[in-house]
Amino acid sequence: MLSPFNSKGVFATSVLLALTSFARMVESPLPDNLPGGLSSLCRIAGNEYYAVSDRGELVRLKIEIDPGSGSLKKCEMTSRVRVKTRVSDLEAVCRSPDGRLFVTDDCGKSAYEITPSGKVVKEFSALKAEFSSAKYNLGAEAMEFGSFGAKGCLWTVTELPRTCDGKYLKLFKYSLEEDRIVSSYDYDYDYAVVDFLNDPKDGSLLVLERDIGVKPKLAFWRGLNYITIKIFRVKLKNDGTIEKTELFKANTGSVNYEGMEWAEPSTDGRRRVILISDKAVTNRPVRIEWLGRVAVIDIE
């Protein structure tokens, strides 16, 4: 299936059918004035969201989705602040019910609590020590607060295995009160993990995984579908094992989705997630343009 984007990345809102036909996906272009390198997504309230960027910024967005069609009605940046971590490559952001903000620094291989103005409140030394064995740019890629009903805990994972993890990723449970990692679990990944999302309906975790599955030297072909995403429902069983159920799979061409959060429900009550892509240009070894998009997916 060829990409619906032309050489300039301009198109009308389109619908992509998932390869596994679990759900419908509606894509819309991001405004040109939004910064590039966006990763992760978390809701503040209503249609207000936080994202983080590869440039070390906390970006506040207003994203309005049509409740009927799922197309993007409005996406605007309302603020952007610099977060002064040791290495400026933020990959995950999450928020606790009382408004505390947490981010991960991919290349810095660490995690932090920050203020909305970008000030670092605390660096989590136990997570930093655990991620120290990760290869460069493979630090903590996803983070969520309170997953699986565990109050006062952060859950995080690296994008791909660290040098010591072997076959599995390690899903870490970090207690804020005890200031330490209290447990870890083997996560059998399909693709690289790029974002988490709590599901309050059943206490499970939705996981966004992404594969850039073609050699870079081929990526200059316009319309070549070389990125694939999957969304899984993940449950933590009583014996400490992870149960994964695939909900969605799609080929997204040159759209690199890295953030996931709940959208407003559809007019008929179906629940939806919203994805946001990393808009960037890579010039080595060839020029690759990753297009800025928002996607809405019907989960139920």
Task: Give every strand in the sheet of 192-199, ordered side by side.
Answer: 192-199, 204-212, 227-236, 242-253
Residue 204 predicted with pLDDT over 50: yes
H or E element: which one contains 298? Answer: strand 293-298
Please give the tally of structural domains in the chain.
Answer: 1
Tens digits of residue pLDDT in 114-142:
999 999 999 999 999 999 888 877 888 99
Residue 297 predicted with pLDDT over 50: yes
Reply yes or no: is the peptide bond before residue 285 cis, omega within 30 of 0: yes
Q: pTM of this prediction? A: 0.88
In a domain, residue 56? The reply is yes
Q: Which one is predicted more confidently, 213 or 143?
A: 143
- In sequence order, the 6+-apart residues with CB closer than 8 A to the CB of 151 are none
In a domain, residue 6? The reply is no
Q: Which domain holds residue 91?
A: 14-298
| C-alpha–C-alpha distance, residues 153 and 277, integer Å | 27
In a domain, residue 101? The reply is yes
- Which backbone phi and psi does 136 adopt, to 5 degrees? -55, 135
Q: How many Cβ atoms from other residues are within 10 Å of residue 281's Cβ?
A: 9
Tens digits of residue pLDDT in 219-272:
444 445 578 999 999 999 999 999 999 999 998 888 999 999 999 888 888 899
In a domain, residue 162? The reply is yes
Amino acid 214: pLDDT: 52
In a domain, residue 153? The reply is yes
Tens digits of residue pLDDT in 34-93:
888 899 999 999 999 999 998 899 999 999 999 998 899 999 999 999 998 877 789 999
Mean pLDDT of 171-196: 95
Mean pLDDT of 149-154: 95
Q: What percent of the chain has pLDDT over 90?
A: 62
- Please name every residue paired with 113 in a beta bridge, in sequence order, or none if there are none: 102, 122
| 88, two tokens | 């400026």
Amino acid 38: pLDDT: 92
Residue 235: which CATH number? 2.115.10
- In sequence order, the 6+-apart residues with CB closer than 8 A to the CB of 285 are 216, 217
DSSP 161-185: --TTTTTSEEEEEEETTTTEEEEEE
In a domain, residue 2? The reply is no
